[in-house]
Structure 1
Amino acid sequence: MLAKGQTVIQMMEQLAPKHYAMPDDKIGLQLGTLNKEIRNVLVALDVTTEVAEEAIRLQIDLIIAHHAIVYRPLKHLQTDTPAGKLYEKLIKHDIAVYIAHTNLDVADGGVNDMMAGALGLSGLSHLEGVHTEKLKKLVVFIPETHHEQVRAAVFNAGAGGIGHYSHCSFNLTGTGTFLPGEGAQPFIGRLGQIESVTEVRFETIVPEGIERKVIQAMLKAHPYEEVAYDLYPLELKGRTFGLGRVGKLAEACTVADLVVQVKQAFSVETVRVVGNLQQVVKKIAVLGGAGSRYIQASLFAGADVLITGDIDYHSAQDALAAGLILIDPGHNIEKIMKSHVADYLIKHLTAKKYTTNVIASEVDTEVFKFV
């Protein structure tokens, strides 16, 4: 059974929810339609002409990419321009393009976690917080006979987490009353007769991002025709998600040795380094993409080194003066997301018994050559 486009993207947005994205970031469906069956998905860093040709050759129906193909407002769609030719090629072959950018950077298991994992960093924290979960309290009244069933369904959907604790709830037994009216099909009781039932008032915490999923799970597990439940907004804040990661190497090493690790981890031949190659370092900050403006955040976090791309000359001078080592392996190291996202989608599609195929793009979209 092939998955619909919307189904594939629902799985993608479980990994990288859209509300994690930075303001004005160009994410989501940028071209084509998701209202179709998907035979083949291609995961790419960039959508270039070469990637589009790869997609056509592989009979791809959907490209999931990290970098937007429509970043600035379009003034025209002329098919004799490079961008216009690309859009025309994709449209003619009915290839949809979906973008997960800063939401994939921020997400747990996203680009920055992939980078940190490739270097074996531990004790991770983020460089800059960009999104704090809003929390709600779910209160639902459950017949005592189905209490454990409903509670398990709610927890399995992701509710009940407070800090490092899971399955958090409050449960109070009492008596519920109701009178089934004409047209009702009561699970307990008879039409026209007031019924008293031993019920449990079950309360738990629900992150706003999974509210719909939790409510659906609760309603499916609950035996009542009409379920009495409430959702209250809370002043208590949930987890904070952010850009970049800071962590520690398994063992301290020189910058020169770290450069070797970076080259191996991200499959690059050259890097730019700012600072003393013989300095011993331990605490490392990583950030996919262009990271010049995260120098101060790295210093504040106590990092010895910032590994990121697109460092400009004056930012490099500032880092050198402040004593922060910079390693710039280029923006293109975000290509690490291709295999990770492909593996994630394969796992989740297979679990649902879908036959949709997912392929990591093999096109090298690095634009710089070092000679």
Structure 2
Amino acid sequence: MFAKGQTVIQYMEQLAPKHLAYPDDKDRIGLQLGSLQKEIQAILVALDVNDDVVDEAIRVGANLIIAHHAIIFRALKQLNTDTPMGKLYEKLIKNDIAVYIAHTNLDIAEGGMNDWMAEALGIRHTVPIEETQREQLFKLVVFVPKSHAEQVRDAVLGAGAGAIGNYSHCSFNVDGTGTFLPQEGTNPFLGSVGKLEKAEEIRIETIVPQGIRNRVIQSMLKAHPYEEVAYDIYPLDLKGHAFGLGRVGKLEQEQTLTAFAEIVKEKLDVAHVRVVGDPERIIKKAAVIGGSGSRYYPAARFRGADVLVTGDVDYHTAQDALHAGITLIDPGHNAEKIMKVKVAEWMSAILKKNHYETKVIASSVNTEPFHFM
């Protein structure tokens, strides 16, 4: 059985929830082209979408591409298939290939782009370089007959609700009496139509983070015996876990800038890096941010980083960072290609767990536009 397109994207948004995207209306995420109302035989995971990547998708039989970089940046006023991009869109449409983008939401997500890069470079005990948001917390209150309280509580907490700091499965439970009068056309679990019923019930309260709210509610409704479930969910002033761009933490072993640059080359699979700073400087704490993150060097320095690893560093920013006392390593924007294998592995595992036959392939196309001579 192949997974439906919407099912695949529901899984993808567990890894990279859309609400985590950088609060900037210029970011383009989500479905950009095609339809998800179909079975997905194969998924191609790519950093960029160009002609070679689309040809690869056709060759491997993929009818969905999950990419990091958008193919549509601005509102289209026309779709002229004589232009290079128009021809690309035409090829995708004619071959029924949908394109879905996970960009800054994948960067910011825990277990996403910047965590993969930090892990590869041996950066441990990380925190975001710059906080972008704190997850909204909600209080879920549900009323359950005593006979099914444990079943519903297990479903809710098993879906991820009830986390407070380093404690999980937190809930509060109060005995009480519920009343209801089933009307014509109902099929009550307890009581009879037209007769007021009093039931011994448990009021279960717990905390639900925004990112899993829908999943928790669906699990609760599925486990609850009533055909009309009485529950409340409301926002709290308390804020939850912090999310943000980039990662900063201590290296497993301190080393010179030169030695660390060699690790960056090897682990991020790049032939060359540009380095700003004294090659013999000792690096104890490092920061990394995928893509173009050089503007975050002051935040990385404030967090105590000796070096920032990021792409697309311009001349004047390099001068300013050097003057500020932080070193830089630029492996290029294409270093984000680490996401191809990581997303493919993650998606393959969850599809297999749910007994789907949909294949997931990491693109083998090198989309690096620069040649070093």
The TM-score bracket by the shorter chain reads over 0.9
Question: In the alignment, does 2:250 pair up with 1:278?
Answer: no
Aligned partner of 2:218 in structure 1 is 216
CA RMSD across the alignment:
1.2
Post-superposition offset of 1:76: 2.9
Aligned partner of 2:2 in structure 1 is 2
The runs of at least 4 consecutive aligned structure 1 residues that moved more than 4 Å come to none
Aligned partner of 1:100 in structure 2 is 102
Trace 1:46-195 onto structure 2 (pairs within 5 A).
46-195=48-197
Aligned partner of 1:347 in structure 2 is 349
Aligned partner of 1:35 in structure 2 is 37
Aligned partner of 1:223: which letter? P
Cα 1:265/1:179, change in 2 over 3 Å:
same
Cα 1:75/1:185, change in 2 over 3 Å:
closer
Post-superposition offset of 1:12: 0.5
Q: Output the TM-score relative to the length of structure 1.
A: 0.97
What is the CA–CA distance in structure 1 between the aligned matches of 2:77 and 2:15, rounded to whole Å? 33
Post-superposition offset of 1:208: 2.2
Post-superposition offset of 1:234: 0.8
Q: Deviations over 1:248-290 (max 9, x none)?
A: 1111111111011111101111100000111111111000000
Q: Deviations over 1:21-75 (max 9, x none)?
A: 1222111111111111111110000001111111111121000000001113334
Trace 1:299-338 onto structure 2 (pairs within 5 A).
299-338=301-340
The range that moved more, 329-338 or 117-126, is 117-126
Aligned partner of 1:16: which letter? A
Aligned partner of 2:287: which letter? A
What is the CA–CA distance in structure 2 between the aligned matches of 1:81 and 1:185, rounded to whole Å? 61
Post-superposition offset of 1:147: 1.0
SS in structure 1 opposite 2:61? Answer: coil
SS in structure 2 opposite 1:138? Answer: strand
What is the CA–CA distance in structure 2 between the aligned matches of 1:87 and 1:236, rounded to whole Å? 45
Q: Deviations over 1:291-313 (max 9, x none)?
A: 12101111111100000000000
Post-superposition offset of 1:152: 0.6
The range that moved more, 323-332 or 230-239, is 230-239
What is the CA–CA distance in structure 1 between the aligned matches of 2:197 and 2:368, rounded to whole Å? 70
Question: In the alignment, does 2:237 pair up with 1:235?
Answer: yes
SS in structure 2 opposite 1:216? Answer: helix
Aligned partner of 2:75: which letter? P
Aligned partner of 2:362 in structure 1 is 360
Aligned partner of 2:249 in structure 1 is 247
Aligned partner of 2:20 in structure 1 is 20
Post-superposition offset of 1:197: 2.3
What is the CA–CA distance in structure 2 between the aligned matches of 1:94 and 1:225, rounded to whole Å? 41
What is the CA–CA distance in structure 2 between the aligned matches of 1:331 and 1:179, rounded to whole Å? 63
Q: Deviations over 1:323-363 (max 9, x none)?
A: 10100000000000000000111011111111010000000
> Which of 264, 267, 270 is 1:268 aligned to?
270
Aligned partner of 2:358: which letter? T
What is the CA–CA distance in structure 2 between the aligned matches of 1:226 and 1:97, rounded to whole Å? 39
SS in structure 2 opposite 1:188? Answer: coil
Aligned partner of 2:242: which letter? T
Q: Output the TM-score relative to the length of structure 2.
A: 0.97
Aligned partner of 2:299 in structure 1 is 297
The range that moved more, 60-69 or 194-203, is 194-203
What is the CA–CA distance in structure 1 between the aligned matches of 2:122 and 2:168, rounded to whole Å? 27
The sequence identity of aligned pairs, in percent, is 64
What is the CA–CA distance in structure 2 between the aligned matches of 1:131 and 1:38, rounded to whole Å? 33
The range that moved more, 353-362 or 124-133, is 124-133
What is the CA–CA distance in structure 1 between the aligned matches of 2:71 and 2:184, rounded to whole Å? 57
What is the CA–CA distance in structure 2 between the aligned matches of 1:28 and 1:63, rounded to whole Å? 12
Post-superposition offset of 1:189: 2.4
Post-superposition offset of 1:143: 1.2
What is the CA–CA distance in structure 2 between the aligned matches of 1:6 and 1:178, rounded to whole Å? 38
Q: Deviations over 1:155-209 (max 9, x none)?
A: 1112111222211111111222233333332222233433332211110011123
Unpaired runs of 5+ in structure 2?
Answer: none
Aligned partner of 1:131: which letter? Q
Aligned residues: 371
Aligned partner of 2:4: which letter? K
Aligned partner of 1:13: which letter? E
What is the CA–CA distance in structure 2 between the aligned matches of 1:35 and 1:220, rounded to whole Å? 25
SS in structure 2 opposite 1:286? Answer: strand
The range that moved more, 351-360 or 51-60, is 51-60
Aligned partner of 2:8: which letter? V
Unpaired runs of 5+ in structure 1?
Answer: none
What is the CA–CA distance in structure 1 between the aligned matches of 2:195 and 2:39, rounded to whole Å? 50
Post-superposition offset of 1:80: 2.2
Aligned partner of 1:60: which letter? A
